[in-house]
Amino acid sequence: MEQFKRIGITGRQGRSHIVDTLKRLVTFLESRNVDIVVDESLSDILPSPQTKTFSRSTMGQNSDLVIVIGGDGSLLGAGRELSAYDVPVLGVNRGRLGFLTDVSPDELEPRIGEILDGQYSMESRFLLEARVERDGQLIGQGDALNDVVLHPGVSTKIIEFELFIDDQYVYCQRSDGLIIATPTGSTAYALSGGGPIMHPKIDAMVLVPMHPHMLTSRPLVVSGDSELKLVINEGNEIHPRISFDGQVDIKLAPDDTITISKKAKKLKLVHPMTHNFYEACRSKLRWYQQN
């Protein structure tokens, strides 16, 4: 097991409820003689002005582990950026659901202590990358840990687009859009759209139509190594959008092409030894339990 001697800390900016957790975490790590670096965006709420602060990218390059304090959205944002530096990431949940941030604030010290002692598991989660081209020119790109979503933006009109998988024509669809989710994202927006839950170890993507015009349109699971291509039909009356984890957005135009594939760099997620995917589903999704 890797030893974490320098730990970076980041979290959601402007969220006052992370202050107590941040102070507890810094105090505990200092008691364990760990070298601490904190995201400079959190500098105004640090318990000590002597604590070192860096940009998130510098922190990713120089840390053995980065702890994210916040909800799943905070970890999604940090994970997309930190995956480039091959640094493991651990989430402390200060949000609602907490599928990715699985250390509870109530168990902060014992769980972090166990991880520092080498009692943890680590897994890799793949991300998606998308490129948007217009008239053969790249106009935008983005990464997603959960999902890439084609949607109409503020309009209520249907989008018409064509889907190709590995250069093979699949269909022309009229709908409110399409969710392309990783196994990580299968318990997020894709789930609310009727998509299946996929175990994180599965190497696959799921495509979930959003309110399709044809009731026979159903979620489709494809290989994680597939290359997807969406072509916005010229006849569309609206300019739809493509979003990445619901946090980054690109405005599209008729005849734009979006190419989506697996990103080469993966995100390393650290979990306490108590972590269990099925238990997380059971508790977060409120599955009924029998004695």
Pair type for strands 35-39 and 228-232: unpaired
β-sheet with 204-210: strand ranges across: 220-223, 204-210, 177-181, 147-151, 241-244, 248-251
Which of the following is catalytic: 39, 72, 176, 256? 72
Is residue 86 part of the annotated active site? The answer reads: no
- Where helices occur in the chain by DSSP H, the ranges are 19-31, 56-62, 72-82, 108-116, 189-192, 277-284
CB neighbourhood size of 255 (10 A): 14
Question: Tokens at residue 283, please?
Answer: 């508790």
Could you tell me if 230 and 150 are in contact, meaning their C-beta atoms sit under 8 angstroms apart?
yes
Q: Residue 99 has what DSSP assignment?
A: S
Could you tell me if 184 and 269 are in contact, meaning their C-beta atoms sit under 8 angstroms apart?
no
Sign (positive or negative) of CA dihedral 265, 229, 248, 217: negative
Question: Which SS3 state, helix, strand or coil, does residue 124 take?
Answer: strand
The amino acid at residue 171 is Y
For the annotated catalytic residues, the residue numbers are 72
